[in-house]
Amino acid sequence: MNRRTLLGAAGIGGLMVAAGVPVARQLVSTVASEAALSSTVYIGSYTSWGTPAGPGFQVGTADPVTGKLTITGTVAGVADPSWFAYSADGRILYSTNEGTPGAVTAIDISSDQQPKVLATAAVKGNGPTHIARHGQFLLTANYTSGDVSVLKLGADGKPGAVTDVVAHGTGAHAHQVVTDPSGQWLLAVDLGTDSVYVYKVDGAGKLTQNQQLKLPAGTGPRHLAFHPDGKRAFILAELNSTLTVAGWDAASGTLTAGKVLSTLGGATPAENYPGEVQVSPDGRFVYATNRGHESIATFSVGSDVSFVETVPSGGSWPRHLILDPTGKWVYVSNQRAGTVNWLPRDLSTGRLGPSVGSVSVGNVGVVSFK
């Protein structure tokens, strides 16, 4: 169920009350409608390492009322799927294959619960940890080789030839690629060079650097997430446990680093390596995972950004988190625990409750809603 559906249900509920329809019947109808509209979920886990190694690419459903995640199947032939992207029409899912040499796999998801592998293509880089679609191209951030690859998509949506590979230099560890909200720019976050690179992608699939935002040495930027206003980005740092609030100018394709906040509040764990950052759909809250502290940090967003609290992630080594389409649930990939946990979320305050359930997925890395 998406937010538009929920708003529509709320509006209908108001009309029913005004018309004198019994509230109990209204609530039963709403809950039944939500239950019937369980979301399709795709899950990725590492297959080539870990104890135990993961099952790879899985499909499941998430109940918008209870949050319960149910795994319904596993698709063979997808090695080390660590991140997903989607075709413009939503019929194809693209997965990284985070090995050496690295590759990407295209999966037909036109039938939600019966995915089929279409094709796999080499990226000419090692350890592709992240993937993004930018128009008619796929891009991967290759952590091990420290570069960014571009692949042309065919008319059938399958990945084809590599059109460019751009290296970030000595010590580079590219960790994320993401298209900006305007669709004009491609940003690459590199943990090893303490930098965020901004690129233009031309019609031939070649990258031209527009900016290198250099952060302080030892920051270790891992991922960033844009605010819905398209004017701000939140850069999560793995090495110093910080969140940098950056201004984004889509006209010039430039980031400007601003306020820096700790993801830990006053906590001082022996080790901590933040993993993922997400912004709530309404733009009022930012969430970040803390691997080591085993927590989720919440930040409030208004004219200023401030730290709110941390809550336990429900397991060990929370690599990834995602909000469900209703915004009422947060799903956390606790990699070392081998579980995906779901935590309730208050839509008004943004606060997360304790984990209320989990499902076992060995060496889990990512959860995605179609």
Whether 31 is in a domain gets the answer yes
Mean pLDDT value across residues 134-140: 98
Whether 367 is in a domain gets the answer no
Residue 53 is given by DSSP the state B
Convert the pLDDT of each residue in 77-133 to its tens digit: 999 999 999 999 999 999 999 999 999 999 999 998 999 999 999 999 999 999 999
Mean pLDDT value across residues 235-262: 99
Whether 17 is in a domain gets the answer yes
Q: pTM value?
A: 0.90
Residues 6+ apart with CB under 8 A from 161: 151, 152
Q: How far is CA 114 from CA 94, 111, 303, 360, in A?
A: 15, 5, 44, 21
Q: Residue 185 and residue 209: Cα distance in Å, rounded?
A: 10
Closest CA to 95 of 278, 363, 291, 367: 367
Whether 216 is in a domain gets the answer no
Q: Which domain holds residue 14?
A: 1-37
Give me the number of domains the chain comprises: 1
Convert the pLDDT of each residue in 32-83 to its tens digit: 344 457 899 999 999 999 888 999 999 999 999 999 999 999 999 999 999 9
Whether 168 is in a domain gets the answer no
Q: What DSSP element (H or E) covers 23?
A: helix 23-36
Q: Residue 47 and residue 57: Cα distance in Å, rounded?
A: 9
Whether 19 is in a domain gets the answer yes
What local confidence, expressed as pLDDT, does residue 112 receive?
87
Whether 3 is in a domain gets the answer yes
User: What burial letters (b/e) apply to 296-322, b meaning 16+ CB within 10 Å?
Assistant: bbbbbbeeebebbebbbbbbebbbbbb
